[in-house]
Amino acid sequence: MFAFSSDKPSPRSRELPVGLADRVRPTTPVAGRTLPVPPALTPLFPGGCMRRGTTTIVAGQLGHGATTLALALLAAASQAGSWCAAVGLADPGVVAVAELGLDLRRVVFVPHPGNGWAEATGDLLTGVDAVVVRPPGRPRLTAARHLTARARERQVALVVLEGAGRWPVGGDLALSVEAVEWEGVGRGHGHLQGRLAQVRVSGRGAAGRTTECSLWLPAGSGVVTVAEETERTKTESAECRTGPGDGPEAA
pLDDT value at residue 139? 94
Domain for residue 9, yes or no? no
pLDDT (tens digit, 9 = 90+) per residue, 56-71?
Answer: 999 999 889 999 999 9
Q: Examine residue 82 and state whether it is found in any structural domain, yes or no.
A: yes
Is residue 60 included in any domain, yes or no?
yes
- Number of structural domains (the chain) is 1
Res. 52: pLDDT tops 50:
yes
Question: What's the pLDDT at 222?
Answer: 86
Q: Is the C-alpha dihedral spanning 199, 121, 157, 226 positive or negative?
A: negative
Interval 125-135 mean pLDDT: 97
- Comparing 135 with 185, the larger pLDDT belongs to 135
Domain with residue 44: its CATH number is 3.40.50.300
Q: Per-residue confidence at 150, pLDDT binned at 50, 70, 90?
A: very high
Categorize the per-residue pLDDT at 185 as very low, low, confident or very high, splitting at 50, 70 and 90.
low
249 occurs within a structural domain = no
* Angstrom distance (rounded) from CA 151 to CA 70: 17
Look over the chain and give the mean of its residue pLDDT values, rounded to a whole number: 80
User: Which segment of 66-70, 136-140, 234-238, 239-243 scores lowest on mean pLDDT?
Assistant: 234-238
Share of the chain above pLDDT 70, in %: 73
Is residue 14 situated within a structural domain?
no
Q: Comparing 180 with 104, which gets the higher pLDDT?
A: 104
Per the structure, the complete domain to which residue 176 belongs is given by 20-25+32-244
Decide if 66 contacts 161 (C-beta within 8 A).
Answer: yes
User: Can you give the pLDDT at residue 1?
Assistant: 61
**What per-residue confidence (pLDDT) applies to 21?**
52
Q: Who wins on pLDDT, 182 or 135?
A: 135
Q: For residue 205, tell me if it sits in a domain.
A: yes
Q: Would residue 8 count as lying in a domain? A: no
Q: What is the mean pLDDT of residues 147-164?
A: 95
Q: Specify the pLDDT at position 83.
A: 97
What is the DSSP track for the chain? -BS---SS--TTTTSPPTTHHHHT--SS--TT-EEE--GGGGGGSGGGEEETT-EEEEEE-TTSSHHHHHHHTTHHHHHTT--EEEES-S---HHHHHHTT--GGGEEEE---GGGHHHHHHHHTTT-SEEEE--SSPPPHHHHHHHHHHHHHHT-EEEEE--SS--SS--SEEEEEEEEEEEEE-SS-EEEEEEEEEEEEESGGGTTEEEEEEEETT-TTSS-EEPB-TTT-SSSBPPPEEEE--S----
Dihedral (Cα; 191, 73, 230, 203), 10-degree rounding = 120
